[in-house]
Amino acid sequence: MQNGPAADAPSGPVIARVAALSDVGRVRTNNEDAFGVTELGSGEPVAFPGGARERTLGEAGLLLALSDGMGGHKAGEVASNMVITTFTECLLRDSQNRPLEERIVSAARRANSDVMAAAMASDKHGMGATLTAVLLRGKWALIAQVGDSRAYLLRRGELRQLTHDQSLTQFLVDSGALSADQAKNSPRKNVILQAMGHAENLRVATSLLELRQDDRILLCCDGVSNSMTDEEIREILKGPDPDLACRELVKLANERGGADNLTTIVACVDGPGLAPPAEGESIDETLQTLQDFGPNHASLS
């Protein structure tokens, strides 16, 4: 990211209106999801006791992070909370002199090591979690992913999945062995190829998005994304209220059975510091892959 967030300050303020909601669902007895929204400049977490919160994006940025735990016997709950806590604390402590993508990969690796160590030192062997994070800074969004929790972008009515599931079914779709429709009903759709706390050679997928006015970003766990179509997500995100969008996404997933925990974070960004979408400009023109997961998923050098 040679010309990324550190080099290109916006010409005016960029405002983010953010909401988040987590629900246990209708089947599980405990919530193994965790999330955090944190202002990296002040270190203050953003709470959501009722309604969306508005923040001006400072130089340090606003961190949105979501983790879906796994392992049973509350191990997943421990893992996901540890991922969010360690990941956020590492970004708060890390020097801002380093490129942002290096900082976010380093923070993810530290969280991965902490979960592995905690599992070895307790009765929670095998616990793990996903991590999907979006760092909003000026006119940029840096996206990081481990696992299959997703980030989406809605821009001018077009919905785009910003992350690529690190799952067995997605690998089979990519290789041509399964169609997308077959993958939705596959009994192996919950098998992920890497998770926080499962291996030392973690490969964090990262990408960089140049934001536009009225962009809407959604982070969600697979309990939400597996319960509805992209068209349904698009229609819900079109509304002006991020808090209402979170509540409608969770409500719809519960109406479809609520078989898993349900967590959503929605951010709407706007302001004079962002350019409007240019006529004919595609999302791909504003989205750059920095590091993909890759079929060999070897560790970063």
Does residue 257 fall inside a structural domain? yes
The count of domains in the chain is 1
Look at residue 149 and give its three-state secondary structure: coil
The pTM of the full predicted model, rounded to 2 decimals, is 0.92
As a whole number, the mean pLDDT across the chain is 90
* Residue 261 placed within a domain: yes
Q: How far apart are CA 204 and CA 112, in angstroms?
A: 11
Whole-angstrom distance, CA of residue 127 vs CA of residue 81: 12
- How far apart (Å, rounded) are the C-alpha atoms in residues 29 and 22? 14
CATH of the domain at 233: 3.60.40.10
> In which domain, by residue range, is 182 found?
15-290
Of 167, 130, 155, 150, the residue nearest 225 (C-alpha): 150
- From CA 213, how far away is CA 4, in angstroms rounded? 18
Judge whether residue 14 has pLDDT over 60. Answer: yes
Say if 194 falls within a structural domain: yes
Examine residue 3 and state whether it is found in any structural domain, yes or no. no
Residue 73: pLDDT band with limits 50, 70, 90: low
Task: From 153, 286, 170, 258, select the one nearest 216 (Cα to Cα).
Answer: 153
Which structure tokens are listed for 134? 């979006």
pLDDT at 4 (0 to 100) = 47
- Give the residue-averaged pLDDT of 114-137: 92
Phi then psi dihedrals of residue 182, to 5 deg:
-65, -35
Q: How confident is the model at residue 121 (pLDDT cuts 50, 70, 90)?
A: confident
Beta strands in 84-240, from DSSP E residues, in sequence order: 128-129, 131-137, 140-146, 150-155, 158-161, 205-210, 215-220
| 178 — pLDDT class (breaks 50, 70, 90) | confident
**CB distance 195 to 222 below 8 Å:** no
Q: How confident is the model at residue 7, as a pLDDT?
A: 40
Q: Distances in Å between the alpha carbon of 298 and those of 43, 163, 207?
A: 33, 18, 18
Whether 295 has a pLDDT exceeding 70, the answer reads: no
Confidence of residue 1 (pLDDT cuts 50, 70, 90): very low
What's the average model confidence in pLDDT over 236-259?
A: 97
Is 30 a member of any domain? yes
Average pLDDT (80-105) is: 93
190 — pLDDT class (breaks 50, 70, 90): confident
Domain membership of residue 130 (yes or no) is yes
Q: Could you give the CA distance from residue 127 to residue 76 in angstroms, rounded to a whole number?
A: 6
Which one-letter amino acid corresponds to residue 172? L
- Residue 301 in any domain: the answer is no
Rounded to an integer, the average pLDDT of 225-245 is: 97
pLDDT bracket for residue 117 (50, 70, 90): very high
* Domain annotation covers residue 56: yes
